[in-house]
Chain A
Amino acid sequence: MDWVNAIVQGILLGGLYALFAAGLSLIFGVMRLVNIAHGDFIVLAAFLGLTITSTLGLSPLVALALVVPVMAAIGYVLQRGILNRTLGEDILPPLMVTFGLSVIIQNGLLEIYSADPQKMSAGSLETASLSLPGDLNVGVLPILMFVVAVAVIAGLQWIFYRSSLGRAFRAVSDNQDIAQLMGLNKAHVFGMAMALSLAVVGIAGVFLGIRTSFDPSIGPGRLIFGFEAVIIGGLGNLWGTLVGGIILGVSQNIGAQINPGWQLLAGHLAFLFVLAVRPRGLFPRID
Chain B
Amino acid sequence: MTTEHTYSISRSSKASLIAAALGLLVLVVLAAAPLWAGRADMRLLSEVFLYLSLACLWNLLAGYAGLVSVGQQAFVGFGGYMLFALAMFAGVSPLAAIPLAGILGALVAVPVALLIFRLRGAYFAIGTWVIAEVFRLSFAQISALGGGSGTSLPVALVRSIASNRSMREATTYWMALGMAVLVLVVIYALLRSRKGLALTAIRDSELASQSFGIDIWWHKFAVYLITAGLTAMTGALIFLQKLRISPDAAFNVNDWTAFVIFIVVIGGIGTLEGPILGVIVFFLLRETLADLGSTYLLILGAVAIVVMLKAPKGLWGMLKERTGLELFPLSRRVVKNKT
Name the one of B115, B130, B302, B312 contacting A228, with C-beta atoms under 8 angstroms: B130
Flag the segment in B137-145, B181-189, B272-280 that touches A.
B137-145
B140: which A residues are within 8 A, CB to CB?
Answer: 261
The answer to the question of A227 belonging to the interface, with a C-beta cut-off of 8 Å to chain B, is yes
Q: Tell me the count of chain B residues lying within 8 A, CB to CB, of chain A.
A: 40
Give, as a whole number of angstroms, the nearest-CB distance from A94 to chain B: 7
Q: Is the CB of A231 within 8 A of B297?
A: no
Q: Is the CB of A96 within 8 A of B261?
A: yes
| CB-nearest residue of chain B to A276 | B115
Name the one of B119, B123, B137, B301 contacting A104, with C-beta atoms under 8 angstroms: B301
Residues of B within 8 A of A (CB): 62, 68, 70, 115-116, 118-119, 121-123, 125-127, 129-130, 133-134, 137-138, 140-141, 148, 253-254, 258, 261, 265, 269, 294-295, 297-298, 300-302, 304-305, 308-309, 312
A261: which B residues are within 8 A, CB to CB?
Answer: 137, 140-141, 148
Give, as a whole number of angstroms, the nearest-CB distance from A285 to chain B: 15
The majority secondary structure among interface residues of chain B is helix
Give, as a whole number of angstroms, the nearest-CB distance from B303 to chain A: 8
Q: Is the CB of B305 within 8 A of A100?
A: yes
Q: Is the CB of B126 within 8 A of A224?
A: yes
Given A34-B126, A95-B68, A227-B123, CB of A107 within 8 Å of CB of B309? no
Q: Is the CB of A86 within 8 A of B308?
A: yes
Flag the segment in A149-157, A190-198, A266-274 that touches B.
A266-274
| CB-nearest residue of chain B to A235 | B123
The answer to the question of A77 belonging to the interface, with a C-beta cut-off of 8 Å to chain B, is no
A264: which B residues are within 8 A, CB to CB?
Answer: 133, 137
A97 to B312, CA, bound (A): 11
Q: Is the CB of B261 within 8 A of A99?
A: yes
Q: Is the CB of B301 within 8 A of A101?
A: yes
The answer to the question of A117 belonging to the interface, with a C-beta cut-off of 8 Å to chain B, is no
Give, as a whole number of angstroms, the nearest-CB distance from B128 to chain A: 11
| CB-nearest residue of chain B to A34 | B122
A92 to B129, CA, bound (A): 16
Beyond A34-B125, A104-B298, 8 additional contacts (C-beta under 8 Å) are: A92-B308, A97-B308, A100-B302, A220-B129, A272-B130, A275-B115, A275-B116, A279-B118
Give, as a whole number of angstroms, the nearest-CB distance from B258 to chain A: 6
Q: Is the CB of B258 within 8 A of A103?
A: yes
Q: Is the CB of B68 within 8 A of A92?
A: yes
